[in-house]
Amino acid sequence: MQQADGTVDLVDEEYVVGLSGAALFAALAGALAYLSVPYPLSPAPVTLQVLGIFLMGVFLGAKWGGLSAVLYVLAGSLGAPIFAGGGAGFGTLLGVTGGYLWSYPIAVVLMGWLAYGGLGIGSPQETSDARLVAALAAGTLVIYAFGTAQMLVINELALVEAIMVGAVVFFPAEAAKIAAVIAVVESGAVPDWSPTGAEQRG
C-alpha cells in the first residue's frame, strides 16, 4: 500500500507542477510577445514571443510544454491581447503571420521530445548544451515552415521569396534567442521543473 500511495503522490505532484508551469510559461510568452517591432524585411515583426516558446520546450518538456503552447494560442485566439504587439483574436490565426502561431504546440512537443527522449519534464541542467541546441533548432524549423507556408498562401508569394521573408531573414535573431535560452539554463535563473530538480529544492 505504501508503494501505491507513493505512486499517487508522484502523479499528483507531476500534475500540479505541470499545470502550474503550463499556465506560467503561457503567461510569460504573452508578456514577451509585447516586445515586438516591425521588420522591414518581412511582413512579420521581430518579437521575443518565440523565446517564450523555446522556454516552454526546454523547461516543461513535450507534454506540459505542449499544453502551455496550446493554452497560449487558445487564450490569444479568444481575445487575450498576448500575440505579437498585443494582438488577439482568431482572425490573427488566419492572417499572414498565423502560421507561426499554429506551429507553436507542435514545435514545443518536438523540442521537448528531442531534448529529453520522452513526453515528461526533463532537467535542462542535466542535458548537454548540444542536445538542447539541436532540439531548439528543430523547433525553429517547424515554426518557420508553418509560418512561411501560410504567408506564401495568403500573400501569394513565390516559394523562394516566401522562404526568404518568412524564415531566412529571422534566422540570426532566432540564433540569438537559442543562445539566450542556453544562457538561462546555465545561469540557473529559472528553476529546474523536473522531478530531479524538485528533489534538490526539497
- 5-9, 47-51, 90-94: which range is least confident on average? 5-9
Instruction: Give the chain's domain count.
Output: 1
pLDDT tens figures, 1-24: 444 444 445 557 778 888 999 999
At which residue does the C-alpha cell 503561457 appear? 26
pLDDT tens figures, 51-87: 999 999 999 999 999 999 999 999 999 999 999 989 9
Give a yes or no: residue 201 inside a domain: no
Q: How far apart are the C-alpha atoms of 63 and 17, rounded to whole Å?
A: 12
Instruction: Give the CATH number for residue 118.
Output: 1.10.1760.20
- Whole-prediction pTM: 0.89
Alpha helix positions (H), the chain? 2-33, 49-77, 90-94, 98-116, 129-155, 159-166, 171-187, 195-201
Please compute the mean of the pLDDT values over residues 181-190 and round it to a whole number: 91
Q: Which domain holds residue 39?
A: 2-196
Q: How far apart are the C-alpha atoms of 197 and 121, rounded to whole Å?
A: 10
* Residue 37, φ and ψ in degrees, nearest 5: -130, 145
